[in-house]
A and B are shown apart, each in its own frame.
Chain A
Amino acid sequence: MISIAVSSQKGGVGKTTVSINLAHSFALAGVRTLLVDADPQGSVGLSLTRQSRLLAGFYDYLADPGIPLERLIVPTRLETFSLVASGQASDYEAGGAGMGAHLARVRGFLRSVASHGFDLCLIDTAAGLFGITGDVIASSDAILIPQQAEPLGIRSVPKLLEGLNRLRVMNPRLSVLGVCLTMVQNELAESTEAASALRQLLPMEMVFRTQIPRDGLFVRASARGLPIGVLEDGVGAQAVFDALRSEIEAKLDPTSARG
């Protein structure tokens, strides 16, 4: 199994949108995928399951060693696509414990996911590279970094890189898949210039060719509790995430990705 943390230094960059739709793309491709909501705000759950506020989830698992993973897994209509919600444990909502406090539990969680036969565990984390998000990254095989295509977001890149360098010391096997530009607005000069600046700033292999546009479809999909590819007019948007998946598969060992 491969575990991928979807994380960013800054909030509001589209992590949850990327996580949901990328996970859906992998699942459509036949990869047995578990999407885990490790954001205490529970955005994945709020997007995809109406009863998310009633579900036990990731944070309950961290808080209670007695909870088995199977109690947390929420199946979807797609056999290869399952979810784990954020959960009810609220102690973490204000930032919770410090980094490392839950490292052993997070690693135990991922071992349990692997033992349940999943090929891919995609983890949507809270913003920032500290606290439990740091523990998730320090436990994952790889990290994908959504980055909003706007100047303020690009200015946060040095802090992001410093944080990742630190976490890579804790987790030397961490593979940095790269930065995925999100909310790109081709009609807005500041947005395209920011995207271009990031591509110049970072090594070519660190920035995905695929970029996610800002699109009202995402709002509609979220309103209906669906991945965008399920919408009747979501084919084009789904193709964007399929392209991102292909790039990720090329960076990962495809035999590992598919178990």
Chain B
Amino acid sequence: MMDPIHPWLDPIEVRRLAEGLMRPNRETATPFSDAGFDDDFVGFATDAVPPPPAVAPPALAATVPPEPTPAPVVAEPAIEPEDPAPDMVARGPFLDRIIRFRDWMHAQFGATGVFILDREGAVIFDESKHGRLHFLARSLALASRRQRNATGNVHVKITAGSTLEVIPVDTAYGCLVLGAVVPEALNQNSVAAVMEALSKIASPPEGNG
């Protein structure tokens, strides 16, 4: 008789998720109450995506067609930052590319804060004063990790006028987690454009390596 259960699920992934849930959450020992939310928190962002609303279906994100006008992130002339934040971790040409990306995020989406973490939570870039959001962003990114290594974006409304958009992006340097404080949640086309842009800037430059 056909197995009525196992063809429908991945037992190893299920086990991993379940064991994670049964472990005491070590993060509760961190000073971040409510995983980084504070008194300004007014609720999770909502959008037209069917519930559960906090996580975009990865299949949908993967099939979103590109923007009619591709985001000119890499080709765009460099805009020198007036005064790069002193605590930036990235250096050299990579920093230049990230700064261009940050400026593009500001211009396209009104992002008031952009940071990039690696999968372990180490800060790759942070121009913002949103250090307390790093833990939240990383946790959301890990929690949104779906089966078969697909990823999904997550957004939470952190104040009445700002939303933290968290977008895990697979790049040549591994999976990076982008956090951006934006006025409102990004739609799927915008998320796709951001993913593509970050993936490009986090690739070794062509020609001179």
Contact = CB atoms under 8 A, between A and B. Distances in A.
Interface of A: 95, 97-104, 128-131, 134, 151, 154-155, 157-158, 161-166, 168-174, 176, 190, 193-194, 197, 201-203, 205-206
A98 B21 CA distance: 24
B160 to A, nearest CB: 12
B52 A130 contact: yes
27 contacts: A98-B46, A98-B53, A99-B44, A99-B51, A99-B54, A100-B156, A101-B44, A128-B52, A130-B53, A134-B52, A151-B4, A151-B5, A155-B8, A157-B14, A158-B10, A158-B17, A158-B147, A162-B146, A165-B17, A165-B143, A169-B140, A169-B143, A172-B34, A173-B25, A193-B4, A197-B6, A203-B22
Contact of B9 (A102, A130, A158, A164): A158
A130 B51 contact: yes
A201 B5 contact: yes
A161 B18 contact: yes
B28 interface: yes
B34 A171 contact: yes
Nearest to A102: B43
B144 interface: yes
Nearest to A193: B4
Interface size class of B (residues with CB under 8 A): 35 or more
B14 A202 contact: yes
- Majority secondary structure of chain A interface residues (helix, strand, loop or mixed): helix
Nearest to B9: A158
B139 interface: yes
B4 A194 contact: yes
Contacts of A128: 51-52
Contacts of A162: 17, 146
B55 A161 contact: no
Of B8, B9, B18, B146, the most chain A CB neighbours within 10 A belong to B18
Nearest to B26: A172
Given A99-B54, A130-B53, A165-B21, A172 B14 contact: no
B14 A158 contact: yes
A166 B46 contact: no
Contact of A201 (B11, B25, B42, B54): B11
A203 B51 contact: no
B143 A161 contact: no
Of B27, B45, B54, B55, the most chain A CB neighbours within 10 A belong to B54
Contact of B14 (A130, A161, A194): A161
Contacts of A157: 9, 14
Q: What 3 pairs between A and B have smallest CB-CB spacing?
A: A98-B46, A100-B43, A100-B44
Contacts of A104: 42-43
B5 A155 contact: yes
Contacts of A134: 52
B35 A170 contact: yes
A193 B156 CA distance: 40
A1 B144 CA distance: 31
Nearest to B8: A155
A95 B51 contact: yes
Contacts of B84: none
Contacts of B144: 166
Contacts of B28: 172-173
B145 to A, nearest CB: 9
A5 to B, nearest CB: 14
B35 A169 contact: yes
Contacts of B154: 166
Nearest to B18: A202
B38 interface: no
Interface string B126-165: 0000000000100110111011000000101100000000
B21 A206 contact: yes
Contacts of B34: 170-172
Contacts of A176: 21-22
A154 B5 contact: yes
Nearest to B147: A158
A99 B35 contact: no
